[in-house]
């Protein structure tokens, strides 16, 4: 009996030392998994360099194979006129992909100004112990607050935020479209050369690539060409499907005026208000067309060409700190440059 009282007193004394009225089950679980989160964040930061090298390496490989192996096959398959058009479109895709990937990789996503106490804040970041402006969230990998944070992209080894969101989406868009274009263009060549053991007809692009095809060396070269074309076709087909799905997902978010982080927040808020019989309204939804104009920085019709279809390094509208209500933004956009 005395031992039981001693044990109960010991437990009570221990609880009195560590008790926190603000603690909860979620807080306890978060604290227990903190070492695991720390490890994942560090690995993600390191693997980001690997992913960047992978993107650069695979893209360079496709370009080299395209000029060395695919281009002669295209010339033999489609003729000079159609081939010239295909080459022009392919190089346009390549320029857009390289430009937007480089800008997304090197452009800062945007951070709240340090030491500025008069920021338009909606909360305090518990990690930075600093004001958090609207749409700002803390990235545990970068260990900083990011303006209009969408997510941390390991393929860019960078956060996607206010100042590089457009570059990230444009890279995904043109990469998926470029891969789909390449896959469709190569389909005829791929399906006609999918069996390297078979003897290709005299008019086959692979035969035309090897003038002295009666010797063993040209046949070996022909197999290398075949394998290279198959590699490019499989790679571009896979990327076009996977990255295309991701691009459509982000396009839907942009149409609704949301980021990836805000989607989860808005979904919970929508469910919470629904239980109270209220309707949630996204304060950053300007209408689908206005959302896209704001996202791409389109203020005039010519901007659809100069800022969307051509490489453009223009800054996003506003500073990522102040966001006007939808009606105010539309009115300001009609009468002049917007601050958001």
User: Active site residue: 69, 139, 153, 172, which one?
Assistant: 153
Contact 93, 185 (CB under 8 A): no
Judging by beta carbons within 10 Å of its beta carbon (0-12, 13-18, 19+), is residue 220 exposed, middle or buried?
exposed
Q: Any catalytic annotation for residue 153?
A: yes
Pairwise CA distance, residues 113 & 102, whole Å: 25
Region of 179 on the Ramachandran plot (φ > 0 left; ψ -120 to 50 alpha; else beta): alpha
Q: 144: part of which helix (H) or strand (E)?
A: strand 144-146
SS3 82: helix
Q: Which residue has the tokens 């009115």?
A: 331
Report how far apart, in Å, the C-alpha atoms of 113 and of each of 147, 261, 340 are.
10, 21, 17
Please give the Cα distance from 138 to 126 (Å, whole number): 9
Q: How far apart are CA 149 and CA 322, in angstroms?
A: 14
- At residue 21, φ and ψ (nearest 5 deg) are -65, -20
Cβ burial of 146 (10 Å; 0-12, 13-18, 19+) is buried
Q: For residues 274 and 268, give the distance between their C-alpha atoms in angstroms, rounded to a whole number.
A: 10
Catalytic annotation, residues = 153
């Amino acid at each position: 009996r005395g031992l039981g009282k001693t044990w109960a007193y010991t437990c009570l004394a221990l609880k009195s030392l560590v008790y926190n009225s603000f603690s909860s089950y979620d807080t306890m679980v978060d604290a227990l998994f903190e070492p695991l989160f720390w490890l994942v964040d560090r690995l993600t930061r390191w693997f980001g360099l690997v992913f960047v090298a992978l993107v650069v390496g695979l893209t360079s490989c496709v370009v080299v194979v395209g000029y060395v192996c695919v281009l002669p096959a295209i010339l033999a398959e489609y003729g000079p006129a159609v081939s010239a058009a295909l080459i022009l479109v392919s190089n346009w895709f390549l320029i857009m992909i390289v430009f937007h990937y480089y800008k997304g990789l090197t452009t800062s996503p945007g951070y709240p100004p340090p030491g500025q106490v008069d920021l338009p804040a909606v909360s305090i970041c518990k990690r930075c112990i600093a004001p958090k402006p609207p749409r700002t969230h803390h990235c545990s990998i970068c260990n900083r607050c990011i303006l209009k944070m969408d997510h941390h992209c390991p393929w860019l080894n960078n956060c996607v935020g206010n100042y590089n969101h457009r570059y990230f989406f444009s890279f995904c868009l043109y990469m998926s479209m470029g891969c789909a274009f390449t896959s469709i263009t190569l389909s005829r060549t791929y399906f006609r050369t999918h069996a390297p053991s078979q003897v290709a007809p005299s008019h086959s692009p692979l035969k035309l690539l090897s003038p002295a095809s009666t010797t063993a060396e040209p046949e070996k070269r022909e197999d290398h060409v075949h394998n290279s074309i198959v590699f490019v076709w499989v790679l571009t087909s896979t990327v076009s499907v996977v990255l295309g799905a991701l691009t459509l997902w982000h396009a839907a978010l942009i149409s609704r005026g949301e980021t990836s982080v805000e989607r989860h927040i808005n979904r919970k808020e929508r469910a919470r208000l629904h239980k109270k019989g209220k309707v949630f309204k996204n304060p950053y939804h300007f209408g689908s067309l206005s959302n896209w104009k704001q996202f791409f920085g389109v203020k005039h019709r010519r901007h659809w060409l100069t800022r969307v279809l051509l490489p453009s390094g223009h800054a996003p509208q506003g500073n990522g700190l102040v966001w006007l209500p939808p009606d105010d933004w539309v009115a300001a956009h009609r009468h002049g440059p917007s601050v958001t």
